[in-house]
Amino acid sequence: MGWYYTYGASKKRIIEEICEGWKNEATGSGNVILKKCVRGNVLWTLNEVTGADGTKTKLIGCHLIGSSDGDWGYKPMDESMGPCYWSCPEEYLNEAPVVNENWRKGVAAYHERRRKRSVRKGDRAQLVHTSIERLNGMFVTIEGRRRSKVMARASDGTLLLVPPACLERVA
């Protein structure tokens, strides 16, 4: 599937358009958005789809949102397509039947990595994947945040500004 653009639409309007849902009065089929969540330029939806025979099923939607020449649009996908995006809310996984096991494993791994990187003042963490090889494996104590970086103090007293992706919390 390709991208669908709406002339003069804003990002907010595109999200509203996607979440309107639809119903075919002649067949009774339709789509209702039960939940939605925007993470960056990805809109995650939990949909309830009604077939022409009246059967209902839930599915997870992944809508990429972007702009081209000032007009906003979207690219619709669902779990069956195995999107290369894993920021889907974990609660959606519990509410919709499994369609793509590998994709769900990727979503679970994504959220596990985020939990490991989530640090607070006073936490101990280990530096990983830094561009300075000698720092990899070093243990630090979290001092706070400064904009998008984390302030971490090394055992020798050195204060470091580190991207959160380079930290793994130590239990």
Residue 155 corresponds to which tokens in the numbers above? 């055992």
What pLDDT, on a 0 to 100 scale, did the predictor assign at position 147? 80
- For residue 138, give the 3-state DSSP assignment: coil
For every one of its 171 residues, what pLDDT tens digit does the chain have, with 9 covering 90 and above? 699 999 999 999 999 999 999 999 999 999 999 999 999 999 999 999 999 999 999 999 999 999 999 899 999 999 999 989 999 999 999 999 999 999 999 999 999 888 877 788 999 999 988 888 888 889 999 999 888 889 999 988 999 999 888 888 886
pLDDT at residue 1, rounded to an integer: 67
Residue range 118-169 in CATH 3.90.550.10: no
Q: Is 123:142 a contact under the CB 8 Å cutoff? A: yes
- Rg for the chain, CA atoms, rounded: 21
So where are the chain's domains? 4-116, 118-169
pTM of the model: 0.74
143 and 152 in contact (C-beta within 8 Å)? yes
Whole-number Å distance between alpha carbons of 13 and 66: 12
Say which DSSP state 110 is in: H
What pLDDT does residue 135 have?
87
Q: Per the structure block, which two tokens stand in for 108? A: 């679970």
d(CA 103, CA 86): 8
- Alpha carbon separation from 119 to 122, 131, 140, 151 (Å, rounded): 9, 20, 11, 11
Q: What is the pLDDT of residue 60?
A: 98
For 116, residues 6+ apart whose C-beta sits below 8 A from its C-beta are 168, 169
pLDDT at position 34 = 98
